[in-house]
Amino acid sequence: DALGEAGPCLDGNYQTTDYLTAPDDQWPAPAPAPQFGNFSDVFGGLEGGVWSLYVVDDSEGNYGYINGWNLELETRPATPVGFSSPTATVAEGRRGFVFLGRDGPTPYGPGEVTLGARSGSARADSDFRFRGSTLEFGRDYLGTRIGLDPIDDGIAEKAEKFQLVLSNPQGDAALSDATSSITVSIPASKNATLKLGRLGLNRKKGTGTLTARVSSPGRVSVSGKGLVRSTKKLTSAGKVVLPLKATGKAKRTLRKTGQVTMKAKVTYRTLGGRKVTRTRSFSLKSGGHH
């Protein structure tokens, strides 16, 4: 409702401007032109806003009075910021994500929180990588993904845990015990393994392939005397096919005799730096020698 133009002002809730747009209802300066609205629309969580209440005596003569009054303003609490889930699980060598967002009445105001990691049985820089930072929220900010990177060290370990923790809220940001931290679990892991499998030969081209299987993400390379070095990157555990191609003196021998015996050295390095090596002897054959 709007305040009445005559009579006493009764207790109640009223619009911020009680006059409409008729010319006779415009108040003199310094009062602004009428503008209906509410505090949330105008200030939207912004600090330092200025609100003014204007009172005008629109009756001629020296009479009328205000017999005591008060104005009570109630601001909303800061917007809650937190993790969408209390727990997450990410395996060694895999990249995972957790979601951080805020939930409350809009429009939001700007704010910020500090994001950090707290070691548990999983230790920073040896079991996982994480760099703390200050997250700044604009007025349109709804949330973001936070990356998680457990290190694959290729060593058999029991399940481990660490936490991500929010602290030091500023501006339009508030924290609660229920959502200000998340516990990240790293499942138990096995020793890095490298198994060599099938050897394939292409007599027409005088080349071959060697299949290898690894236990986790990393890099697998093949090298050896007279072999062209080749490296492949794996983003997950599984099978990789390595090319076998002669070079230098071995290549000349293959062309001349149609066969060359070689030894391949296969090296597997996990993302955590663990190295496993296996060797395989084989013979490349060519049907087109001369």
Residues 145 and 95: their CA atoms lie apart, in Å, by 12
State the span(s) of the chain assigned CATH 2.60.40.1940: 194-285
Residues 66 and 3: their CA atoms lie apart, in Å, by 14
The pLDDT of residue 9: 65
State the span(s) of the chain assigned CATH 2.60.40.2030: 81-186
Cβ atoms within 10 Å of 241's Cβ, excluding its own: 13
Residues 215 and 193: their CA atoms lie apart, in Å, by 5
Q: Which CATH architecture has domain 81-186?
A: Sandwich (2.60)
Contacts of residue 140, Cβ cutoff 8 Å, sequence gap at least 6: 108
The pLDDT of residue 198: 94
What's the number of CA atoms in the CB half-sphere (13 Å) around residue 218? 28
Q: Which CATH architecture has domain 194-285?
A: Sandwich (2.60)
Task: Read off the pTM.
Answer: 0.59
Closest to 9 (Cα-Cα) out of 61, 52, 69, 60: 69
Residues 113 and 172: their CA atoms lie apart, in Å, by 10
Reading the block at residue 18, the tokens are: 């009680």
Cβ atoms within 10 Å of 276's Cβ, excluding its own: 19
Contacts of residue 70, Cβ cutoff 8 Å, sequence gap at least 6: none
Residues 274 and 272: their CA atoms lie apart, in Å, by 6
The pLDDT of residue 76: 80
The pLDDT of residue 190: 80
Residue-by-residue pLDDT tens, the chain, 290 positions: 556 555 666 776 665 544 455 555 566 666 666 555 556 666 666 666 667 776 766 667 776 666 777 777 777 888 999 999 999 999 988 899 999 998 887 778 889 999 999 999 999 998 999 999 999 988 888 889 999 999 887 777 899 999 999 999 998 899 998 999 999 999 998 888 999 999 999 988 999 999 999 988 889 999 999 999 999 999 888 999 999 999 999 999 999 999 999 999 999 998 777 889 999 999 999 876 55
The pLDDT of residue 186: 96
Closest to 282 (Cα-Cα) out of 209, 174, 185: 209
The pLDDT of residue 41: 61
What's the number of CA atoms in the CB half-sphere (13 Å) around residue 3? 17
Contacts of residue 281, Cβ cutoff 8 Å, sequence gap at least 6: 261, 262, 263, 264
Closest to 69 (Cα-Cα) out of 10, 1, 7, 2: 10
| Separation in Å, CA 205 to CA 90, 224, 244, 246, 284 | 44, 19, 11, 11, 10
Closest to 152 (Cα-Cα) out of 239, 273, 235: 273
